[in-house]
Every structure is written in C-alpha cells, then in structure tokens.
Amino acid sequence: MLPFIGSFQSVVIGTVDAEGFPFSSYAPFVHHGHRFYIFISDIATHSKNLKREERASLFFIEDEAPAANIFARKRISLQCDVALIQRDAETFSPVMARFSDKFGEEMISMLMKMADFNLFELTTIGGEATFGFGEAYRVGGKEGEMLLPRQGGSGHK
C-alpha cells in the first residue's frame, strides 16, 4: 500500500461542510510516522471544514492515462481522524522538514511565513484499497497500513 501512496505528491481530501454536504478538494501531503500531514491555508474551504469536523477521507487514485482499465483504476480511500498541529508542537518541525525535502525549501519557507497556513495531522482509522477486479481489501491494523481481505459480499456476477 505504501509504495502506491508514495508515488503521489498530493491527495484528494473529502470533508463535510457546515450544512453537512460532502466537499472534495486536494492538498500536497507528506507521510511521517504512520500519519499523513497537509499544510493548508485558513482561506481554503477544506481547512475550515477540518477545523469544525475533525474527520476526513483521503483518496489516492491511479491516473487515467496509464490505467489498464478505466473501470478498475488502482485506488485507496482512507477514513481519518484529524488534529490541528500547533507551530510550537514537537511534531511540527520534523514534519515541515519532510515537506521541505519533498516540495523544496523555497516553497515551504514561503508558506511557513504565512500565518494563515496550518498543519493538519490525519490518522488512518480504516479504509479500502482496490488494485483491480477481484483485488479489493480493507485497510486495517494498528497503524492503518495493513491490507486485509474484505469480508462479506459475493463478488462480481
């Protein structure tokens, strides 16, 4: 699962707005210590949603162009608990160093100077992974990084 996720620079984020409607957006991310992190502006709708409702989904999906079959694109959907990480928290500096390594020191330094940018930590509590027809799994395990056989259902007919 992690090699697939590691091929991405950004992730689709599902949140819920103040009226209870789903809202999808995206953000660059890093994976650090069995958790995902995004660094986004308060101006962004998904930032407001995450501050109000500390649950979200992350969605990683294979690009259409290289996909062998448009109906069976590889994908992972993760349900997560969300926490806002304060700039003086122990976690903040090591995670931001990962952002700098992945996206460049110049860009991350610029964003860190903007007081409206916040670091969110997303901890996997479950999910699903599909790698083709008949290759569907539950995401589980203590750190949310194990692929487990799906239970129930009778498959394609």
Count the Cβ atoms, other than its own, within 10 Å of residue 99: 22
Number of domains, the chain: 1
| CATH number of the domain where residue 61 is located | 2.30.110.10
Q: 15 is in which domain, residue-wise? A: 2-124
- Inform me whether the pLDDT recorded for 99 exceeds 70: yes
- The answer to whether residue 151 is domain-embedded is no
Residue 114 within any structural domain of the chain:
yes
In a domain, 132, yes or no: no
CA distances from 34 to 30, 75, 105, 135 (A): 10, 19, 23, 24
> Residue 105: inside a domain, yes or no?
yes
Q: Is the pLDDT of residue 57 over 80?
A: yes
Whole-model pTM: value is: 0.92
Q: What is the pLDDT of residue 16?
A: 97
Of 140 and 48, the structure prediction assigns the larger pLDDT to 48
Q: Give CA separation, 122 vs 52, 75, 94, 144, in Å.
A: 14, 18, 16, 11
Place of tokens 């690009």: 63
- What does pLDDT average to over the chain? 93
For residue 153, being part of any structural domain is answered with no
Q: Which of 14-23, 24-33, 51-60, 141-150 has the lowest mean pLDDT?
A: 141-150
Average pLDDT over residues 45-58: 97
Specify if 149 maps to a domain.
no
User: Does 65 map to a domain?
Assistant: yes
The Cα 1–Cα 49 span in angstroms is 27
